[in-house]
Chain A
Amino acid sequence: NAGVTQTPKFQVLKTGQSMTLQCAQDMNHEYMSWYRQDPGMGLRLIHYSVGAGITDQGEVPNGYNVSRSTTEDFPLRLLSAAPSQTSVYFCASRGQSEQYFGPGTRLTVT
């Protein structure tokens, strides 16, 4: 049981490049979400999903896309990276008693 895994751990992009942050969980949780963490702002919800095929926007969805084709995976796509997207990204999976967070992806956009 690996919990919530995220890849890559670190990534540097140039402005305008695209990439996908991967998130997977092996706990059969229906509810998954993506947060970004910025200094002095805590974590802010980007997108979430209540099950395969169902996604919705959170507090800061602009510039990000998500899809949920399986229960296990919830990738986050940046279509055209901007310096404002430099952040640490956390994926979370909600169980019956708590949310489980992945180790994070540190993204720098230059």
Chain B
Amino acid sequence: AQSVTQLGSHVSVSEGALVLLRCNYSSSVPPYLFWYVQYPNQGLQLLLKYTSAATLVKGINGFEAEFKKSETSFHLTKPSAHMSDAAEYFCAVSPRTDSWGKLQFGAGTQVVVTP
């Protein structure tokens, strides 16, 4: 069975500072990995995904994530936070045998950006 853990339910960052959101997965075989963003009262939007190509994945809005098999991690970063980055972020995994149809989500990290 696989699981996904997001460290920190709330993160506060200053505008212009580094954003780092942590995600670890538990799976015997590296799954597909995703980061989604949810703005207030909206659905989820895909930021980026790791399938099997480059371990450093670039996404939308300046975000990127690095897959580290040895650490079973897929942390999300952005060098400089903007006020518009305030949202909830979800890490998700899907087993490779399922062609990323069934997603298992972490509990989410709420990001607050302060001026």
Question: Do A and B associate with each other?
Answer: yes
Name A's B-contacting residues (CB within 8 A): 4, 31, 33, 35, 40-45, 48, 50, 58-59, 90, 92, 94, 98-99, 101-104
Residues of chain B within 8 A of A33, CB atoms compared: 101-102
Residues of chain B within 8 A of A59, CB atoms compared: 104
Can you spell out 26 A-B residue pairs with CB atoms less than 8 angstroms apart? A31-B101, A33-B101, A33-B102, A35-B105, A40-B108, A41-B107, A42-B92, A42-B105, A42-B106, A42-B107, A43-B44, A43-B90, A44-B105, A45-B104, A48-B102, A92-B103, A94-B100, A94-B101, A98-B49, A99-B46, A101-B44, A103-B42, A103-B43, A104-B41, A104-B42, A104-B43
Give A89 Cβ to nearest chain B Cβ, in Å. 11
Among B42, B43, B101, B108, the residue within 8 A (CB) of A48 is B101
B9 in the interface (beta carbon within 8 A): yes
Interface size for B (C-beta < 8 A) is 19
Which DSSP category, helix, strand, loop or mixed, fits chain B's interface?
Answer: loop
Give Cα A99 to B101, complex, Å: 8
